[in-house]
A and B are shown apart, each in its own frame.
Chain A
Amino acid sequence: MIKRSFLGLAKPKFEVQRIGLPLSEVKEVPMPKQVTLMLKKPPERMAGTDTVALSPGETVRTGQKISLSSDSETYVISSVTGTIARIKPFAGDFGNAFIAITIDVTSPEVFDEAFAKRAQSLDPALAGAFLSALPGNPAFSVFFREETPVTTLGILGIEPDLASMTRRFVLSHQKAALQKGIEAVKAITGVDRVVLLVPQDAGMDFKDMAAEVRTVAAAYPGTLPKLLMKDVFGQTVPAGKTCEDLGCTFFSAESVAALGTALETGRFPVEKVITVTGKDQKPVVVTAKIGTPVKVIFDELGIVTGHLDRVVFGGPMTGSAVYTEDYPVLPDTDAILVQDKTQIPPLSQYPCINCGECVRICPARVPVNMLVRYLEAGRYDEAADLYDLHCCIECGLCSFVCVARIPIFQYIRLGKFELSRMHAAEAHHG
């Protein structure tokens, strides 16, 4: 954990992981006995009783598509061969609803042929039919929408959050696949401009890539999409808008490399590169099947968890904590962080003491000290109108430095979520 420097005047620096790992040090997590796939329901079907087109007892092959019964655009790809054990609804945070599909793994592994057949021609429909289930969950649909279609693709060879080196790993070890993937993405989407964003100290030559290569300082929060937009593309994302609204989107290098591998082998990629940081705070890179319960990974790495420990999916700044060791690896799980209960910094019930640390560290120049007062009182509209709630780029640094230990970042997320819900309801009821 990064601590406040003795010289408090100095702005803290957050270096994104830079350890160059040799391939031999990557651990492969063996095939688990059971995997769970999480099928995220589209927002408009949240309350619906949708289920998947398969039922328990049916067999699935590796790489087989499992879609929602009412909507073939919403799907997951099975990462194993086996029989479906359970299908259950699952409530995520911020109102996200999932269907959890648990599969008992059987051998031998049989690969589904549908992807290989479909991938003969690289056209936009392929993206909709398979590619959004690639590791990293790349959102291909933004290239084909009517309103402001995306014309610039940034491929991130650098982690947006700390304590993860998944993308850097892909960059240094799957260069050939990445190259093939970039060509495939160009063919599928017809995107004009592809920019590969690599860390300054990558120490490699990317000249032969079919993409513009730009170097990025490996320092958080400069690696977050909205700041990349500003620093690399020179465009400021207006408050409340997304990078996609400006015609730009970001894919993980892993997604693109996985696509390259998939086209090479004819098999849909079902493995995920994950950086696991245990209680010793030393990051390890592992590969595991999507859907592997984290417990299997912990057992493999010898990480012992206990009562009241914390398991975080994603980085220490923007990730989310899970409540059970059975929680599966998702396609966009780049990092897993385990904290012992003694390593968890306590929060407090103090009000803001107006020390100004958050204001000084905020990369978006949001007046956090005033914002948090309104958010604590639940006055979200005023927070947005007067104190720039929507300018927040969600880096979490305000909470990180908060002397009063207020969960500022959580208040901000909650405020944004409540506002979007209110506006959705208003739009719905006219």
Chain B
Amino acid sequence: MVDQKKFTVSHAPFWHDGSCIRSRSYHTMLAALPAVLFGVVRYGMPAVGVISLAVSSAMIWEYVMNRIMRRDITIGDGNAALIGLIFAMLVPASSPWWMVIIGTFVAIVVAKQIYGGIGGNPFHPALVAVAMLMLSWKDLFDFDAALVNYEFDFAMAYPLAALKHFGTAAVENFTPGALLMGNQIGAVGTPFGLGLIAGGLYLIVRGFVRWEISLSFLAGIFVTAFIFHQADSARYAGPAFHLFTGYTLMGAFFLATEDSSSPVHFIPMLIYGAGGGILTMLIRNIGIHVDGVVFALLVMNIANPLLDKIRPKALGKVF
């Protein structure tokens, strides 16, 4: 009976909608492309170098950890590459090679694999890496200093730093339109607001990120910035400025929405997003850091499991 026909026996359901982690990762990378390509055009080969090194080293770290932990090789799912790409978007184009390698090490090994790999990380891996580098090598994250060798036809000052040190008078020249079009200096993938918004809308419409988080994050920034601006318009810039500078748009569409570290229920998503936005503005306006997105989102990541306990009553739940 060796040649007997054997059927596949498995359990319901027998259909699947065809979604998978791989397509999710690759579509997120696709959504990031406009902003990434803009960075490449603006900063040239150094940006290409940072992006390539970050993506490849992230994948290598993932592979190494898979081997060490004797698990299935998971670089094919694109998640490590995605983390590498997002990390590259957050650092200056002039970052030295060792910083990129350390960054992806922290992101993949410390912030992802040690927690059990995909789905287990309590924080966005790229955020952990950036936070660690920001605190350790402050000078390398000073965008004014990092990009000193570049010559552009717009004000060569990092808007958030200028605001912090000189007040709103120093940033009057940054119109929202110019900021959206990327006429500002910043990290590899963050200046081009329009590209990030386009990518974010693509992710939202395709259902790869949860719109509630993006929207409430932006709303949190907007409202808080508005209140500060009303209170003292000489020191605090208006909401439009804060929405289109720094890591704000990146945070709204690519950082806050990371699956594993964000809530899934409706009200928790709103609290999480809004909390991230409010904290960002508090750090930017009265904290010591120039940009608050990284730390604000890390704090909200910690709150995620607690927030997600707020959930609707299940059907027929008795108590």
Contact = CB atoms under 8 A, between A and B. Distances in A.
Contacts of A352: 119
Interface stretch (A119-127, A128-136, A268-276, A356-364): A356-364
A230 B72 CA distance: 44
Interface in B88-107: none
B207 A308 contact: no
Interface stretch (B10-18, B147-155, B288-296): B10-18
Given A323-B9, A359-B265, A410-B11, A353 B119 contact: yes
Nearest to B5: A307
Interface string A316-328: 1111111111000
A9 B260 contact: no
Contact of B314 (A1, A6, A308, A391): A391
A405 B12 contact: no
- Which of B19, B116, B208 has the most A CB atoms < 10 Å from its CB? B19
B211 interface: yes
A70 B308 CA distance: 54
B118 A351 contact: yes
Nearest to B258: A354
A159 B207 CA distance: 30
B7 A324 contact: yes
B16 A345 contact: yes
Interface string A330-348: 0000000101010011011
Nearest to A393: B315
A2 B15 contact: yes
Contact of A1 (B8, B15, B204): B15
Contacts of A307: 5-6
A317 B13 contact: yes
A308 B13 CA distance: 17
B315 A308 contact: no
A237 interface: yes
Contacts of A37: none
Contact of B5 (A236, A325, A369): A325
B178 interface: no
Given A238-B316, A352-B119, A405-B20, A399 B9 contact: no
B316 A364 contact: yes
Contacts of B206: 6-9
Contact of B12 (A9, A240, A318, A360): A318
Contacts of B313: 365
Contact of B316 (A308, A321, A367, A391): A391
Contact of A241 (B13, B21, B207, B316): B316
Contact of A3 (B17, B205, B262): B17
B89 to A, nearest CB: 21
Main SS class of interface, A: loop
Nearest to A337: B14
Nearest to B312: A365
A240 B317 CA distance: 9
A388 B264 CA distance: 16
B207 A318 contact: no
B311 interface: yes
A140 interface: no
B57 to A, nearest CB: 22
Contacts of B242: none
- Which of A162, A311, A323, A356 has the most B CB atoms < 10 Å from its CB? A356
A312 B14 CA distance: 8
A308 B8 contact: yes
Nearest to A11: B207
Contact of A403 (B24, B204, B265, B318): B24
B13 A12 contact: no
Contacts of B211: 9
Nearest to A403: B19
Interface string A20-64: 000000000000000000000000000000000000000000000
B44 interface: no
A239 B12 CA distance: 22
- Which of B118, B211, B264 has the most A CB atoms < 10 Å from its CB? B264
B318 A238 contact: yes
A380 interface: no
Nearest to A307: B5
Interface in B9-45: 9-21, 24
A413 interface: yes
Contact of B7 (A4, A308, A348): A308
